[in-house]
Amino acid sequence: MYNIVADYHTHTIYSHGKGTILDNVEAARKKRLKKIAITDHGFSHIGFGLARGNLPKIKDEIKRLNDRFGDMEILLGIESNLVGMDGEIDIPEDMLDSFDIILMGFHKAVWPHSLKDGWDLLARNALAAIMPGMSEQLRHQNTMAIIRAIERYPIDIITHPGAKIDIDTKELARAAVKKNVALEINASHGFMTVEYAKIALNEGALIVISSDAHTPDRVGVMDKGFEVAKAAGIPPERIINTKEYDQLEKNWK
Ligand SMILES: [Zn+2]
Ligand SMILES: [Zn+2]
């Protein structure tokens, strides 16, 4: 069994979650977690993206809650979006320092960086789902785009790799090891699958299990993720949000 001490992927009303930051923090405290990250969707997410203007308010709220609850650490994070084939994500360079933790994932409902990126990243991937013939080259391009992102930005976690986009897990895991980036087993999406998790394990990648909670009652709920990790044989010390990893006193960031 895994002793989970942190949930690094939770959403609030600042994107399309149902709870406030305080609601998520209280839920995490009830589950006796030591850390929680508030990670609303990146600025380019259509409809649900974090509004830049809200950032100072969120920062202030998290600071106040950290002062109030000395027994746990609340991190200001973001689930940024891949928006360009050159690895561009939707956080401007001068805002990268605003976050304690940066997650990055592929989502379909984003404003691409350019028309060409919209075609390569969004349209071609949508077409590939119905036209299997074009998948091999696309898979390579998708994987390279994510790898470029982790080479360009201080990304800590790749969320739900393989969900909504076809990727080469082995290739990605190798790049993630070099950059000390953790690959997520998402307890809401069911990604990675056991097969993918085994590949990541064999390549030596760090893993994180996250709830991806969109309601406070889902914070810290990771059963589906545990099942995948267990079936893939991932030892607890390879999972950055377990007590065992914490005790190694390594910092993956
Ligand atoms: Zn996501
Ligand atoms: Zn999410």
Q: How far is the CA of 188 from the centre of ligand 1 (A)?
A: 10
* Cα(249) to centroid(ligand 2), Å: 27
Mean pLDDT value across residues 128-135 = 72
Distance 246 CA to ligand 1 centre (A): 25
User: Does residue 211 have a pLDDT over 90?
Assistant: yes
Percent of the chain with pLDDT over 70: 99
User: What is the distance in A from the centroid of ligand 1 to the CA of 232?
Assistant: 22
Q: What mean pLDDT is predicted for residues 98-103?
A: 97
CA of 77 to the centre of ligand 1 (A): 13
201 and 233 Cβ atoms separated by less than 8 Å: yes
Bond prior to 144 in cis (omega within 30° of 0): no
| Gap from CA of 93 to ligand 2 centroid (Å) | 22
The neighbouring-strand residues paired with 35 are 6, 73
With beta carbons less than 8 A apart as the criterion, state whether 182 and 252 touch: yes
225 Cα to the center of ligand 2, angstroms: 14
User: Is pLDDT of 30 > 80?
Assistant: yes
The CA distance from 39 to 50, in Å, is 10
Cα–Cα–Cα angle for 250, 251, 252, rounded to 5 degrees: 115
**Total-model pTM:** 0.94
- Cα separation, 230 vs 250, in Å, equals 22
The ligand with the least distance to the CA atom of 105 is 1
CATH architecture, domain defined by 6-229: Alpha-Beta Barrel (3.20)
Q: Which of 46, 35, 2 has the alpha carbon at shortest distance from 251? A: 35
Give the total residue count for the chain: 253
Q: Which residues lie near ion ligand 2 (Cβ < 5 Å)?
A: 79, 212
Give the DSSP letter of residue 205: -
pLDDT at 175: 98
Q: Please give the sequence-ordered ranges of beta strands (E in DSSP) within 119-179, or none if there are none.
A: 157-158
Q: How confident is the model at residue 133 (pLDDT cuts 50, 70, 90)?
A: low
pLDDT (tens digit, 9 = 90+) per residue, 37-52? 999 999 988 888 899 9
pLDDT score of 164 more than 70: yes
* Ligand number nearest to the C-alpha of 191: 1
Whole-number Å distance, alpha carbon 243 to ligand 2 midpoint, is 23
Q: Which residues of 52-81 are buried (b: 16+ CB within 10 A; e: fewer)?
A: eeebeebeebbeebeeeeeebebbbbbbbb
CA of 95 from ligand 1 middle (Å) equals: 20
User: Which pLDDT belongs to residue 134?
Assistant: 64
pLDDT reported for residue 66: 98
For the cut 70, the answer to whether the pLDDT of residue 237 exceeds it is yes
Give the residue extent of every domain in the chain.
6-229
For residue 212, the CA-to-ligand 1 centroid distance in Å is: 7
Taking CB atoms within 8 Å and a gap of at least 24, the contacts of 51-56 are 51/14, 52/95, 54/14, 55/95, 55/98
- The whole-number average pLDDT for the span 204-215 is 97
- What pLDDT does 227 receive? 95
Ligand closest to the CA atom of residue 163? 1
Mean pLDDT, all residues of the chain: 93
Using alpha carbons only, give the angle 18, 65, 187 rounded to the nearest 5 degrees: 45
In sequence order, what E strands does the chain have?
6-10, 35-41, 73-81, 101-105, 157-158, 182-186, 206-210
CA 195 to CA 199: how far, in whole Å? 7
Average pLDDT estimate for 20-30: 98
- Asked if the model's pLDDT at residue 184 lies above 80, the reply is yes
Q: How far is the CA of 186 from the centre of ligand 1 (A)?
A: 9
Examine the pLDDT at 132 and tell me if it is beyond 70.
Answer: no
In this predicted structure, what is the pLDDT of residue 40? 96
On the question of pLDDT at 114 being above 80, the answer is yes
242 CA from centroid of ligand 1 (Å): 21
Chain segment 54-66, per-residue pLDDT in tens: 999 999 999 999 9
Percent of the chain with pLDDT over 90: 75
pLDDT given at position 109? 80
Mean pLDDT (whole number) for 79-93: 94
